[in-house]
Each structure stands twice: as structure tokens, then as C-alpha cells.
Structure 1
Amino acid sequence: MSTYGRQDVTDLLTKLQANPEAIEWRERRELARSLSDLLRDGKQTDDDLHLVAVLADDPKWEVRREISELLTLLPDDDFTHAAAKLSEDTNNFVRKAAERALDRRRKGQRAAKHRRHGIQEVAAEFDEMERLHGTLAAKMARRISERLYDVSVGACVHNLRGVLTPIKTSTTKLLSELDGGLDAERASKHLTRIDEKVAFLERLLDDMRTYSQPIPHERRREKLNDLVRDAMSIAVENLRDKGYETSVLKLPVDVPHDITLEAARHQIVVAVTNVAKNAIESLVVDEGRLRAGTVSICAKLVGDRIELAVEDDGDGMSAEDLEEIREFVPGQTTKKQEGTGFGLPTAKKYIEAHGGEMGIDSRDGEGTCVTIILPTEQTECES
């Protein structure tokens, strides 16, 4: 506990049980705030929980609101009792804080249930593989999955260290300069760097979440031209939001209006957007500037399958980088890339969930072409 020791809690609890106003209300509010530190560590005692209950009945609404803010840290039984009381409090600030805590608790429970369900599904799939193909095949599949997990986590840790190291460096420099008088220009430089890295961290977490989302089974008949144009618009807008002038780009789209497919619209738009963003970013010269170039998207129908190509005349990739990219490991980036490393793996995952395929070819200094093959109809297995 940051302010009060264990004996302090016991002594204060005894006083407050005898007289709710035995200590000044501002000290009671500080006591409520300090309780959150101990509850967050998971080392609470019965005295801590009894003190929460006492402060939930405090005469001052400012104290009750602090208890409302820490409700999500309580064990289930204590949470239910305190939340029921505070969500019906006479003070609006207390009620709103309690309602927010209830909402956070429900979201946390849903997320935990989803994680448990996901783990159970994976275990069931390994059991089914063992039943159909034998113990050896199931063991090999498990080892491959574990290896892919290790590589993916390693790539993400590498990305996170690349973010946290400069943040730590800039923070350390800011702190060291405080004593000697902080220069506004240098402070601005450090804070800008921290802000940029935090923004990247947010993108990384968003991309990790997108990659891990389950693919919906529902499919609807969609016009491919609409999906592609939506994706291109999103990709271009993303660059404009970053301050790039996109008028130097040629962005031809040649997708016949009569090509349709059964698809989960959002996933296909995300997949094509990610590929288009990579293509446009290959034309980045330096921060805030694109060189003149072309990113084209064309499609044709070959039997019952669609062939979609996204091609750029950007910098291209070396054979070594191309080999690495073709592994489609989430979080893995090349030296030329400045993204999170989840764009193409997410696209490939979404395309394959539709029974399709995705490949990539590139020549250093000439450009890159990503080819997407999609069926026009979804089989029962694919959907």
C-alpha cells in the first residue's frame, strides 16, 4: 500500500466501524485511493475488504466515488455487494462511476470467456486431428503450432522493444535535464519522439487484435468492384491522415462490375486495404513525402475463381527480404518496412479463411505484385 501500512488499515478500520467520521473526510478519500494499490496486487486481506465495505457507506460522496472507481479490483462476492449498493447511490457521480465499473467488469468477463472458449476449441481440434490422423500427426501439428507461436511472439517482443527503448531513452534524458533547467526545444524533441512511439504502439496493439479476431462464418454476395474501391479509399485516406500528399499517385482500378463473390465484407476489405497500403508505402521517399508512382488493382474471372492483382512500381524487395515476407509471420518486418508486421499476415489469414490463396512477387528496384485468388462460391468447409 502506497500510503498506509497493514497495521494502519487495521487501526483505521476499527475506528471507522465505531464512527464513520472518526477521521477527516479527505484522509478517508486518500485511504480509499490507497486501497486500490493493494487490491491491484492481489494481496488483499479481510480487513482490506471490510474497509472497502465501510467506505462504500461513507457519509461523503467523494469517498464513495473513490470506492466505485476500484470496484473491478474486488473479488466476485465483494464486487456484487458493493456494486449493487453504489449503483443505486443518491449521488450522480458515484452512480456513474459504479456503472462504469460494472461495464468494465462485464467486458472483462466476456473477454475471459472468449479466451477460455478459444483454448478449448484448439484442444478439441488437436483431439480431432489425433482421431483422424493418429497420435504422431497430432504431435507434429502441435509442435509446428508451438514453433509458429514462439516465432510470432519473438517478432512482437522485438517490435515492442523497438518502441520501448527510445521511449525509455527520451524519458531518462528528460528527467536528467529537469535539475539543470529544461530547454523547451529539447523537451519538445523528446516528447515528440515519445508521442510517435506511443502512436506506433497503439497501431501494433490494434493490428495484433485484428489478426486474432475470429473470422465470421456469415457470407453475403458482394460486388468485388465495391470492395476494392472501398479498400483503396481507406488505404489512401490512411496516408493522407499521416500528412502525405497523395495527388502524385496514379491509382487505376480495373475490376469488372459483374464479378461477385460470397464473402464476409469487412474481412475482404481489410485484406485488400492492407495490401494496397503496403503498395502505396513502397513509394514513400521520406517522412511526409511520396514520389510519383502507380499502384494498380485489376481482377479477372477464371472459371469459378477470381484472380486479383495489386501491383506497384515502388522500390521492390531483395530476394532475401522477399523470402522472409513470404513466410507471413505475424509481427515480422524487414529492414525496409516501418509497419507493425501484421498487415500481410492478416490479409493472408482472411483470404485463406475464404478458401483463397495469396502470393507475392517482387524485384528489387522495380516493384511488387501481390496476387489474391478467391472462389466465387463458398463451400461448406470454407464457410
Structure 2
Amino acid sequence: MKKQTILLCDDDPVDRKLFKKYLGTVRPSDYLVLEAENSSELNNFLADKNVEADIIFLDYYLGAENGVDILRELRKANSAPVIMLTGRGDQEIAVECMKEGAMDYIPKETLHETDLRKLIRQAEEKWELERERDQLLGIAAHELRNPLAVILGYTEILQTYDELPAEKKSEILNVIYERSHHLLNIINELLTVTRVDKGIINLKKKQVNLHELLVKKVADYQLQAAKKSITILYNGETENAEAVIDRDRIEEVVANLLDNAIKYSPRDRKVHVSLGRTGTAITITIRDEGQGIKEEELKFLFKLFSSKKISTLPTGEEASTGLGLAISKKVIDAHGGEIAVESRVGQGTSFTVILPLTNRNL
């Protein structure tokens, strides 16, 4: 297992030695401690491409340097979570450090009685939550800006030109309607993300015929597919096709998979939808004949916030938040099921949803 890298910035060699001693009580083999006496040495470590810091312990008192100033610079660089080392009774300093973005603080005199492993884990979890919040805000700003700009632009045209032909007005109103609908979908996705990321998924389960559900969803997406001359083919079991599920949630999952299959397929291709049974489970498979996804990128598909970008893009410049698959996985997990993906570049992608047939949690 890869060791966690700790950057320890403290100008007192005795304090650094004591820190490593107390860290040694929590399995030293788990950690690699890199020592810095000042901000210059700390920055050298951070600039080194071979060093990937998991957490930074920063002394507030570094000779003539102020730990809070260093902390501010670290936060600007978004380097790693920072835990401040302070003196006993430095409550005001500790509060100041927390306001500037420190994940936590420890008075040095209490190091011997501190569960450092627990402190490190909590700081990293808090750091990850903050990163996810920032990423969500970034996604929201980016995804909402474009449709809003189009809506505002066309609204100004309608307000400025009174004598527009009826046909042109109708065309503009259709664009405004489509963009408004897209905007609502984005907002709903973002709201869903905040709920599922907190584990808040309230399922309203009942007995549902999945054959009927799929027939309906395939019909719903025929028009969208026809715009790219794509044919949706359905082949499903009509017998014993019932499962205990939250119908609305599973419809959202199927809709997302169908939408993706159409978005990422070139013109004149087929999308295959099938329904089957395997033992005590029922399976839904949606397979396209599109571009496919690189094998090394598959593991990032279901992550809500991943720094890794998927290189496959929609073929018709359709908009996508990239959140749908992550939401779908959370929904399927909540049902006690699984969602799997297989893909080959140039041949297409297949998603399989496996749902248990039992009525547990009903």
C-alpha cells in the first residue's frame, strides 16, 4: 500500500523529532514524513513533481515568518489540507487559522495525547468535501451560463424587433423553450447530486413491470434518436418482468442511459435495449454503436467529481453535465443492485443495470 506523504514545516528540530515520535505510535509504516525548516523548503517540496503531499503540518511560529501568511499562499495554490501547530493557549491564533482555511489545529503540548491518525483522516475528509463543493459550484456556473446567455439573447431580440415575421418568432420561442427546459434539467441534476452525495435517497418502492417501463422510455426517445437517424431497437422479456423498485428513479436511470447512447453515437447507427433475467435478478442492457470509451477512463465514469476528463464527446455537440452516470450508480446502489459498463473504442459502449427481484426494503 502506498504510504501517505506528510509535509512537516517547523523550524525547531526538537519539535520535529517529537512529532515523528508521536506519529510513530500510529504505525509509522503508513507515513512518509518530509521535513522543512521554513516556507522556502516547504515550497521546494511542493514544486517537486515527485512529491505528492497528502497533508501538511505547519507551525504557526516560523522565526520571522508568519504561519498564517504561508497558509494563505498554500490555500491559493490549493496544495493539500493543512493542520496548524500552535502553542498552548493560542486560541485566537487557532481561530484565525481556521478562518484562513486550515482544516484543524493542534497545540504542540498536546501532541502526545492526540490521535494523529484520526486527526489526519478527519482533515482529509473535510478537505475532500470542500473540494467537491467547489467543483459543484464550478459545474453549476459553467453549465448554467450558456443556456442563460442564449435565453437572454433571444429575449432581447423579441423585445427589440416588434415586426419580426411570425415564423421567425415561433423559431425563437422554440429555442427559448428548449434552452429553458435544458436549464431546468441541469438544476434538477445539481439538486439531485447534492442529495445523493449526502446519501439522501428516499426510495418509494412498489411492484413495477420493467417491460412496460422500457417500452415507454424507448418510445419517449424515438424522436430524439430520429434527429440523428438513429434507430432504437428493443428486445425484452414480457414474462416475469416485475421488480420492486422506485419507478421514477429507475426511469431517470434508463432515460440517462438512452440519452447518452444517442448523444455519443454518430448518425445512422442503432441503440439496442434489452431486458432479461439471471437467477434472482433482472437485467436492463443499453448498448450503442458509438465511439466507445478508452479502457483506462472507464473507472472514472461513475465518479461524481473526478479530475480526470473523459475524452469521448457527444457527436452532435449536445450539452452534458457529466453527472448523470454518477447519479445513476447511486440510485442503483440504493436499490441493492449494480451497474456495469463494457466498451471498445470504435465499436460502442454497453451499460447493464442489475436489479434484485426480491421485495426487501419494500
* TM-score, scaled to structure 2: 0.51
Structure-to-structure mapping, 1:292-331, within 5 angstroms: 293-301=270-278, 308-317=284-293, 325-329=301-305
Where 2:287 maps in the other structure, the secondary structure is strand
* Alignment-mate amino acid for residue 368 of structure 1: T
* Alignment-mate amino acid for residue 316 of structure 1: G
Cα separation, 2, equivalents of 1:268 and 1:187? 38
Asked whether the 8 Å contact 2:302–2:326 carries over to 1, the reply is: no
Aligned partner of 1:250 in structure 2 is 233
User: Offset of 1:163 from its aligned partner?
Assistant: 0.6
User: Offset of 1:339 from its aligned partner?
Assistant: 4.3
* Structure showing the higher helix proportion among its residues: 1
User: Offset of 1:283 from its aligned partner?
Assistant: 4.7
1:146-189 CA-to-partner distances (Å, cap 9, x unmatched) read 322322332222111111122233334455556xx656565554
Asked whether the 8 Å contact 1:231–1:273 carries over to 2, the reply is: no
User: Offset of 1:294 from its aligned partner?
Assistant: 3.8
* Alignment-mate amino acid for residue 202 of structure 2: P
> Which residue, 321, 345, 362 being the options, matches 1:364?
345
User: Offset of 1:367 from its aligned partner?
Assistant: 1.4
Aligned partner of 2:133 in structure 1 is 149
Asked whether the 8 Å contact 1:326–1:359 carries over to 2, the reply is: no
Structure 1 residues 153 and 379, CA gap change in structure 2 (3 angstroms):
farther
Cα separation, 2, equivalents of 1:167 and 1:138? 44
Structure-to-structure mapping, 1:191-202, within 5 angstroms: 191-202=173-184
Cα separation, 2, equivalents of 1:151 and 1:262? 35
Aligned partner of 2:326 in structure 1 is 345
Cα separation, 2, equivalents of 1:305 and 1:134? 40
* Alignment-mate amino acid for residue 249 of structure 2: Q
User: Offset of 1:319 from its aligned partner?
Assistant: 6.0
Structure 1 residues 236 and 260, CA gap change in structure 2 (3 angstroms):
closer
Structure 1 residues 200 and 263, CA gap change in structure 2 (3 angstroms):
closer
* Alignment-mate amino acid for residue 347 of structure 1: S
Cα separation, 1, equivalents of 2:323 and 2:341? 15
Cα separation, 2, equivalents of 1:323 and 1:162? 29
Structure 1 residues 168 and 348, CA gap change in structure 2 (3 angstroms):
same
Cα separation, 2, equivalents of 1:190 and 1:343? 29
Aligned length: 236
Aligned partner of 1:68 in structure 2 is none
Structure-to-structure mapping, 1:161-240, within 5 angstroms: 161-175=145-159, 177=161, 182=164, 187-211=169-193, 212=195, 214-216=200-202, 219=205, 222=207, 226-227=209-210, 229-240=211-222
Where 2:202 maps in the other structure, the secondary structure is coil
Identity fraction in percent: 25
Structure 2, unmatched stretches of 5+, are 1-114
Cα separation, 2, equivalents of 1:157 and 1:283? 28
Cα separation, 2, equivalents of 1:340 and 1:264? 24
Structure 1 residues 379 and 144, CA gap change in structure 2 (3 angstroms):
farther
* Alignment-mate amino acid for residue 348 of structure 1: K
Structure 1 residues 231 and 154, CA gap change in structure 2 (3 angstroms):
farther
Asked whether the 8 Å contact 1:354–1:378 carries over to 2, the reply is: no
Asked whether the 8 Å contact 2:218–2:232 carries over to 1, the reply is: no
Aligned partner of 2:31 in structure 1 is none
* Alignment-mate amino acid for residue 169 of structure 1: G
Aligned partner of 1:264 in structure 2 is 246
Structure 1 residues 299 and 169, CA gap change in structure 2 (3 angstroms):
same
1:19-44 CA-to-partner distances (Å, cap 9, x unmatched) read xxxxxxxxxxxxxxxxxxxxxxxxxx
* TM-score, scaled to structure 1: 0.48
* Alignment-mate amino acid for residue 345 of structure 1: A
Cα separation, 2, equivalents of 1:234 and 1:208? 26
Where 1:316 maps in the other structure, the secondary structure is coil
User: Offset of 1:369 from its aligned partner?
Assistant: 0.8
* Alignment-mate amino acid for residue 355 of structure 1: G
Asked whether the 8 Å contact 2:230–2:271 carries over to 1, the reply is: no
Structure-to-structure mapping, 1:124-135, within 5 angstroms: 134-135=118-119
User: Offset of 1:368 from its aligned partner?
Assistant: 0.9
User: Offset of 1:250 from its aligned partner?
Assistant: 1.9
Structure 1, unmatched stretches of 5+, are 1-130, 286-290
Structure 1 residues 170 and 267, CA gap change in structure 2 (3 angstroms):
closer
Structure 1 residues 378 and 154, CA gap change in structure 2 (3 angstroms):
farther
User: Offset of 1:324 from its aligned partner?
Assistant: 5.5
Where 1:362 maps in the other structure, the secondary structure is strand
User: Offset of 1:218 from its aligned partner?
Assistant: 6.0
1:183-231 CA-to-partner distances (Å, cap 9, x unmatched) read 65655544443232112112323444455474235655x47xx22x233
Structure 1 residues 311 and 182, CA gap change in structure 2 (3 angstroms):
closer
1:118-166 CA-to-partner distances (Å, cap 9, x unmatched) read xxxxxxxxxxxxx9x9443333223222322322332222111111122
Asked whether the 8 Å contact 1:280–1:295 carries over to 2, the reply is: no
Cα separation, 2, equivalents of 1:298 and 1:150? 39
Structure 1 residues 350 and 293, CA gap change in structure 2 (3 angstroms):
same
